[in-house]
Structure 1
Amino acid sequence: MEVELAAVAEADKPVLANLLQLYQYDFSEIRELDLTPHGTFTYSYLDAYFTEPGREAYFVTVDGKLAGFTLLRSDVDSTGSWNIAEFFVVRRYRRRGIARRAAKLVFARHPGKWTLSFDHNNAPAEALWRAVVTEVATGGITETERPPPIPGTRLGFTA
């Protein structure tokens, strides 16, 4: 299976918005997200990925088929690091190594400092990120606890 990242063009923003609904649906049992009166979830930062510098959106594809997305931000903490803001692979492609391969492609796009966070209530994400970061980190890995309302862990490393 060939895993690739494809930059999301502004014309494809509705496709990304659809995938964000699936992503937030999955997250709704972890973060208790509520639906709007229209039966959708709200993602406040979608437009920023098409208007603000230092933000990048990519589709994850498998053999040319849409399989997920990732959203990246640069310089989140004024250290010049990149941050994985969101990362999603649809259920059909989970547990096949697709997320791991896509994540490695993400880190290869911007060699250098990275941060990423995961929720304590999301055990599959924690296992994925700890494994991938261990594989790609070229030095030490820092770990910081993120306090409520969304308790989790933030990893810092160089890839």
Structure 2
Amino acid sequence: MSVALREVLKSEKNILKNLYSLYLHDLSRYTSTLDIGPDGIFEYEGLDQFWEVDGLSPYFIMKDMNIIGFILLLERPLLKKDHDFAVNDLFMLKKYRGQGNSTQAMQELFDKRQGKYYVIELIENKPAVSFWKKIYNDFNIQYEEKQDRIDDELCLIQSFNI
């Protein structure tokens, strides 16, 4: 069955909170700024803002009626005028990685939301860098890339149009 995106409802906040903890756990391998909290969870403190701030759009990635990951899309009015969208976070449960599910999710997102995007990856996060290069190649996307320090971390930033 194909992959679909579904907006995360505020009533599903705890599901997203649990998935974010797994995402941050994965990300902690590539940065020293993430640590587990005293309650044994990697906390994302801004989670409540997803339903309070215009321009923060969380989506579950669904397959066979099951949640298999999420995307956090940033958009206007949160973003400045240079970009329409940013894929802030993309997470797929390990069981579903390497099967084209993230690519299908990005295809659906790009079909629904066209405009100027940017993506930021930690340079040390080789799987993320590789994933995005594959997306650009698979979808024949021309992109501009630069390096910069963000929150004291060396990052790659790509901009592209869909």
Q: What TM-score, normalized to structure 1?
A: 0.92
**Displaced runs of 4 or more, over 3 A:** 134-138
Pairwise mapping of residues 127-146 of structure 1 onto structure 2 (< 5 A)?
Answer: 127-136=130-139, 140-146=142-148
Percent same amino acid among aligned pairs? 27
Partner residue of 1:91 out of 91, 94, 115: 94
In structure 1, the residue matched to 2:120 is 117
Contact 1:60–1:66 (Cα < 8 Å) also in 2: yes
Deviations 1:6-42, CA, capped at 9 Å, x for gaps = 1101101110001001101111111131111111112
Cα deviation 1:44-83 (Å, max 9, x = unaligned):
2211111011110100011211100000111434324200
Distance 1:77 1:133 in 2: 23
Q: Which runs of 5+ in 2 are unaligned?
A: none
Q: Which residue of 2 aligns with 1:3?
A: 3
Tell me what 2:72 maps to.
Answer: 71
Q: Which runs of 5+ in 1 are unaligned?
A: none
- Cα distance in 2 for partners of 1:121, 1:104 equals 25
Residues 92-112 of structure 1 show CA distances to partners (whole Å, capped at 9, x for unaligned) of: 000111111111212222101
CA RMSD of aligned residues (A): 1.5
Q: 8 Å contact 2:83–2:116 — kept in the other structure?
A: yes
Change (3 A) 1:158 1:64: same
Secondary structure, counterpart of 2:47 in structure 1? coil
Q: Give 1:88 shift.
A: 0.2
- Paired residues in the alignment total 158
Offset of residue 141 of structure 1? 1.3
| DSSP-derived class of the 2:42 partner | coil
The 5 A counterparts of 1:48-63 are 48-63=49-64
Q: Is the 8 A contact 1:55 1:73 kept in 2?
A: yes
| Contact 1:119–1:151 (Cα < 8 Å) also in 2 | yes
Q: Quote the offset at 1:158 in angstroms.
A: 0.4
Q: Supply the distance in 1 between the matched residues of 2:139 and 2:53 (Cα, whole angstroms).
A: 28
One-letter amino acid of the counterpart of residue 74, structure 2: R
The code of the aligned residue for 1:9 comes to L
Structure-2 residue corresponding to 1:155: 158
Equivalent position of 1:20 in the other structure: 20
